Amino acid sequence: MGTPAPRSVLLLAVLVGLCTPPVAWGKPNFIVILADDLGWGDLGANWAETKETPHLDELAAQGTRFVDFHSAASTCSPSRASLLTGRLGVRNGVTHNFAISSLGGLPRNETTLAEVLRAAGYSTAAIGFDYYLGIPYSHDMGCTDTPGYNVPPCPPCPQHGTACSPANKDCYTDVALPLFENHTIIQQPVNLSSLAERYMEAAARFIQQARDSGRPFFLYLALAHMHVPLQITPPPDRGIYGAALCEMDALVGRVKLLADHCGKGSTLLWFTGDNGPWMQKCELAGRLGPLLGTWQRARGGSPAKQTTWEGGHRVPAVVYWPGHVPARRSSHAMLSGAAGKDGQVEALRLAQYKAFYTTGGAKACDGSTGPEEHHHPPLIFNLDRDIQEQEPLDVATREYQAVLPAISRAYAQALEDIATDNITVADYSKDPAAVPCCSAQHVACRCHAHGQKSDTAL
């Protein structure tokens, strides 16, 4: 969406600025928990039909919930790069997703939030910064021995020398999913059943170490949830997605306890998502709540992840900082902005008005994709009356004619501002040699934890 980067910058400024703490408080700690492909309706506080998020709802009750908060892109890498830099993909170069064999990533001359905080004396971790633990991409982008859920399902890694030909071309069966600590692969394939627990342990250890060293900390906890559910045993009364949502909610509850343990008010905890639900995964996808994108649905395709419909980038957002950020408040302030495919400015928001210059749908559960269409003059929806984006204003109406000049100006300004900015270009080239592989001897790059010992001898 066209709302330019300054909005993201503004958000960080608000978060930091709200809080210049009294000297006695010292520097606040920051914890950012980022969920993957979480729907706006996946937060019970946003959408009453959702019952699986008691801890998040409590966080919202004790903090401020932003109901008009937007990720900076409707796909993974661009959204995350923007979160860390405060700049949209068209500025920082990260306009689409990196692949397993990518040679590049976020360009080094872009400044991240972690770098700014590190210069201010912070200990930083991405669970890289000073410390890193995690899988380098989504948990369905490599095979595992106990695959998580998927639509259609994906097979486990081959155990021995022969690769099986995948029945589903969306399954990544060639390379086992690696778990990194800093630059070292510590497990390949990762055990999905214990991944969440490992993240929790690492978070707790990092916080403890930062406290022991007397330094404030910045922890960026980018969860594997809710992309597609990890390996879990769903209780009989709940679907797989609901069970995974429960699991994530419990994790957030534990992180909040860790934060409170540092002293209430010493830590700002910000929970949000990278983009909307991945509708092509059908019953394994998140919930849109009221963000139905009805205009697009009527033409085929999904109005969620990978699109600039509200469902693509309006995400749950909760900020918890006792004594500093008001409790029991929901804010309608519009924060951040989203860009469409390859970073183009497809749509623009001005107050309650949303103007589309380009529309299109992502792949839906039924396999349909809505074709890309260009609109001059733009389609304009009044979100106050039409949150489901069903019926654009008639061009002939007073309302349309009254708002169009301001929208056209804002659009031209956004394009001009981007064109005259420092534009960084990211390297999207790929090389099979860049694939993270613990043991090239094994067909699935398998190895044991803490060593280069390969399974091929077995």
Ligand X SMILES: *[C@@H]1O[C@H](CO)[C@@H](O)[C@H](O)[C@H]1NC(C)=O
Query: Should residue 452 be labelled a site residue for ligand X when binding is judged by CB under 6 A?
Result: no
Site string for ligand X, 292-331 (x = CB under 6 A): ----------------------------------------
Nearer to ligand X, 193 or 369 (CB): 193
Among 212, 405, 422, 433, binds ligand X (CB under 6 A): 422
- DSSP lists the bridge partners of residue 70 as 314
Which range touches ligand X (CB under 6 A), out of 190-198, 342-350, 392-400, 407-415? 190-198
Q: Is 303:290 a contact under the CB 8 Å cutoff?
A: no
Which range touches ligand X (CB under 6 A), out of 106-114, 159-167, 315-323, 402-410? 106-114
CA distance 312 to 244: 20
Minimum CB distance to ligand X, residue 115 (Å): 12
Which range touches ligand X (CB under 6 A), out of 181-189, 244-252, 256-264, 295-303? 181-189
Minimum CB distance to ligand X, residue 183 (Å): 7
Minimum CB distance to ligand X, residue 350 (Å): 25
Q: Peptide bond preceding 248: is omega within 30 degrees of 0, i.e. cis?
A: no
Q: Tell me which DSSP letter residue 372 carries.
A: P
247: three-class secondary structure by DSSP: helix
Contact partners, residue 247, CB within 8 Å, separation at least 6: 196, 225, 230, 232
Which range touches ligand X (CB under 6 A), out of 104-112, 166-174, 359-367, 396-404? 104-112
Among 18, 19, 61, 194, binds ligand X (CB under 6 A): 194
Nearer to ligand X, 130 or 386 (CB): 130
Which range touches ligand X (CB under 6 A), out of 103-111, 214-222, 324-332, 411-419? 103-111
Helix (H) or strand (E) run with residue 375 in it: strand 373-382
Query: Should residue 397 be labelled a site residue for ligand X when binding is judged by CB under 6 A?
Result: no
Q: Peptide bond preceding 378: is omega within 30 degrees of 0, i.e. cis?
A: no
Q: Peptide bond preceding 371: is omega within 30 degrees of 0, i.e. cis?
A: no
Query: Should residue 232 be labelled a site residue for ligand X when binding is judged by CB under 6 A?
Result: no
Which range touches ligand X (CB under 6 A), out of 62-70, 165-173, 187-195, 293-301? 187-195
Nearer to ligand X, 145 or 386 (CB): 145
Strand order from edge to edge, sheet including 267-273? 184-187, 179-181, 131-134, 123-126, 217-222, 29-35, 267-273, 317-320, 64-66, 329-331
Among 101, 150, 191, 368, binds ligand X (CB under 6 A): 191
Nearer to ligand X, 325 or 444 (CB): 444
Helix (H) or strand (E) run with residue 186 in it: strand 184-187
CA distance 383 to 352: 5
Tokens of 306: 């990978």
Helix (H) or strand (E) run with residue 402 in it: helix 398-419
Nearer to ligand X, 162 or 422 (CB): 422
Nearer to ligand X, 144 or 173 (CB): 144
# of chain residues touching ligand X (CB under 6 A): 14
CA distance 101 to 457: 27
Tokens of 435: 């694939």
Minimum CB distance to ligand X, residue 338 (Å): 21
Nearer to ligand X, 145 or 260 (CB): 145
Minimum CB distance to ligand X, residue 109 (Å): 4
Minimum CB distance to ligand X, residue 128 (Å): 9
The footprint of ligand X on residues 115-174 (CB under 6 A) is 130-131, 145
Among 279, 424, 443, 446, binds ligand X (CB under 6 A): 424
CA distance 225 to 36: 6
Minimum CB distance to ligand X, residue 41 (Å): 30
Which range touches ligand X (CB under 6 A), out of 159-167, 188-196, 295-303, 376-384? 188-196
Which range touches ligand X (CB under 6 A), out of 180-188, 334-342, 360-368, 398-406? 180-188
Kindly report the length of the chain.
458
CA distance 60 to 272: 11
SS3 content of the chain, % helix, strand, coil (to 5): 30, 20, 55
CA-nearest of 155, 130, 291, 135 to 215 is: 130
Minimum CB distance to ligand X, residue 187 (Å): 9
Query: Should residue 204 be labelled a site residue for ligand X when binding is judged by CB under 6 A?
Result: no
Q: Is 454:442 a contact under the CB 8 Å cutoff?
A: yes
CA distance 227 to 137: 11
Q: Peptide bond preceding 377: is omega within 30 degrees of 0, i.e. cis?
A: yes
Contact partners, residue 159, CB within 8 Å, separation at least 6: 455
Contact partners, residue 156, CB within 8 Å, separation at least 6: 143, 144, 145, 146, 147
Query: Should residue 68 be labelled a site residue for ligand X when binding is judged by CB under 6 A?
Result: no
Minimum CB distance to ligand X, residue 212 (Å): 12
Binding site for ligand X (CB under 6 A): 107, 109-110, 130-131, 145, 181-182, 184, 191, 193-194, 422, 424
